[in-house]
Structure 1
């Protein structure tokens, strides 16, 4: 039946070809002769591979192989230089060959929902034009840092996986608008998330979050979902802490960072000759109370913001715990601020 359909198509030279729901175990090799096809639908069959002849479809832009029995992305995909949209959802894909992913640099949409992926290859960074990546319902335990090189990515879905964290460099995804991470095991969001200046939708529901990143309120969020997380509660208990003695390295770093604020400082002129020190000081934090810089995370606190007033997110009401970093117990004990120490049960 499929052969007959393809023979007819060979004469018609179609732009689109639909072979869905044909119970195909193999795609007939004659498909390689229909090189006019731009959109190919192979959804809802029994395919375990794709024929080499598919590589003759040089103009193919849109391929749907969802709901089949693929265990990996077929090697022939590397021979489709113009492929822009690839749907391979609901297969049994457990691995992605670097040789395949490296050649799909025109891809804008990649849908791998409902597979058995445990990892992504570092070569994911080769998908330089990717705008939409969907990895829902896999078994991913981590994401490679190379994912953060996809600077054109606008929408990322990784719900219902086994993720416990995101790469620290996540903020490099500067064009990200929608982030869906519900039903994972994420305990903490990276501070760099605040650099995703276009993020409008964040779904982090049903994870293991206790607190949000420091600059969450800097994001232009329109929707935020965080139900079913063990967030810190606003139950203030009075506490005064005694000042501790700082390490020599910390004292020196704080002195240097204060000096660097003075444009005429001798240290400011000399620091350019010490790139390692500049890199180290570049990781410094700023105290939420006094505004001074410090090197190591010294005292982690929490402040509670009104989700509707400060975030201006319409779908929320109530207080949200936001991380705050303080440089000393002197600042912690200072009157008038609304930063609280974190107490664990």
Structure 2
């Protein structure tokens, strides 16, 4: 039996393309003509209830921004056309339930700048057109390996500025298999990556892990896959596994990792010079007594400075 949800009367201004229109309604926000964009901005709509937003006409962008949205009920978004972007940001969401987005034909969903900490296992299932999901600036504590079942085209996932502490096994197993992934996981507190986290992933265009608490990267990350761009700035890395040299890297950034091991740094220097990798080094000075030099790693370059040895009289 379908649960009936009562919607309180709401008054708001909706903008269709560039024309604002004042609406007072008990039930539905409807689009009655073809348009590029429908926006609800700076309103008070605490609950998106059953059948509240109904779009049957041509539309590319639907935005609900800074409108005090706390809950989105399953069935609240009845959207028939293909959307390029569905953005519900700068609201008060804490939970994403299954049934809210399932079946919607949309290329990008942006739920950034909310307070989301709980996402149902099935919340992103059966969104067959979905390619990009942004969950930035929330309170998400884990990546769920069960997300994206029957949503086979998701290639770009961004979860920056959240509360992730680890990347679990099979984290990305349901993401796109036919194009290179773009994964943005910076500004969390990730200290662990499971060796099987990237199982079933063969091609990564960009992997950004800046601003976390990583001390190592698993060798399995670089095994049997291509990683074109790797950014691990501002972590606590000590070394890179030797397997990195076979991963097809084109760009490597690991600024602000002052604990990085000198032996590994010298290996990285040789690797990037042989492979012509675009590099950003941490600022580290390594002493080479055999050559009587200090090898200085800094930003894009390395320098050799004569080592001043103590003199004894």
TM-score by length of 1: 0.64
Q: Which residue is 1:231 aligned to?
A: 260
| Partners of 2:73 and 2:100 within 8 A in 1 | no
* Residues 12-21 or 209-218, more deviating: 12-21
Correspondent of 1:34 among 50, 55, 64:
55
Q: Shift of residue 29 of structure 1?
A: 7.0
Q: Which residue is 1:43 aligned to?
A: 65
Q: Which residue is 2:109 aligned to?
A: 86
Q: Shift of residue 42 of structure 1?
A: 0.9
Correspondent of 1:209 among 215, 237, 240:
237
Q: Which residue is 2:8 aligned to?
A: none
SS in 2 for 1:123: coil
Q: Distance in 1 between matches of 2:87 and 2:113?
A: 11
Higher helix share: 1
Q: Which residue is 1:291 aligned to?
A: none
Q: Shift of residue 107 of structure 1?
A: 1.9
| Partners of 1:96 and 1:120 within 8 A in 2 | no
Correspondent of 2:136 among 110, 113, 138:
113
Q: Distance in 2 between matches of 1:78 and 1:41?
A: 14
Alignment of 1:184-263 (within 5 A): 184-195=212-223, 197-229=225-257, 230-234=259-263
| Partners of 2:49 and 2:76 within 8 A in 1 | no
| Structure 2, unpaired ranges of 5+ | 1-11, 15-20, 285-313
Correspondent of 2:155 among 94, 107, 131:
131
Q: Shift of residue 38 of structure 1?
A: 4.1
Correspondent of 1:176 among 204, 228, 233:
204
Q: Distance in 1 between matches of 2:205 and 2:132?
A: 15
Q: Which residue is 1:314 aligned to?
A: 278
| Partners of 1:78 and 1:99 within 8 A in 2 | no
- From the superposition, tell whether residues 214 and 308 of structure 1 become closer, same or farther in structure 2 (CA, over 3 Å): closer
Q: Which residue is 2:119 aligned to?
A: 96
SS in 2 for 1:100: coil
| Structure 1, unpaired ranges of 5+ | 236-301, 321-345
Q: Shift of residue 75 of structure 1?
A: 3.7
Higher strand share: 2
Q: Distance in 2 between matches of 1:102 and 1:9?
A: 25
- From the superposition, tell whether residues 306 and 220 of structure 1 become closer, same or farther in structure 2 (CA, over 3 Å): same
SS in 1 for 2:76: helix
Q: Shift of residue 132 of structure 1?
A: 0.4
| Partners of 2:145 and 2:172 within 8 A in 1 | no
- From the superposition, tell whether residues 33 and 82 of structure 1 become closer, same or farther in structure 2 (CA, over 3 Å): closer
Q: Deviations over 1:187-240 (max 9, x none)?
A: 2212122246442211111112111121222233232111222111149xxxxx
TM-score by length of 2: 0.70
Q: Distance in 2 between matches of 1:168 and 1:142?
A: 11
Q: Distance in 2 between matches of 1:186 and 1:41?
A: 36
- From the superposition, tell whether residues 137 and 168 of structure 1 become closer, same or farther in structure 2 (CA, over 3 Å): same
Number of aligned positions between the proteins: 254
Q: Distance in 2 between matches of 1:141 and 1:38?
A: 36
Q: Distance in 1 between matches of 2:136 and 2:281?
A: 32
- From the superposition, tell whether residues 144 and 317 of structure 1 become closer, same or farther in structure 2 (CA, over 3 Å): closer
Q: Which residue is 2:172 aligned to?
A: 148
| Partners of 2:186 and 2:211 within 8 A in 1 | yes
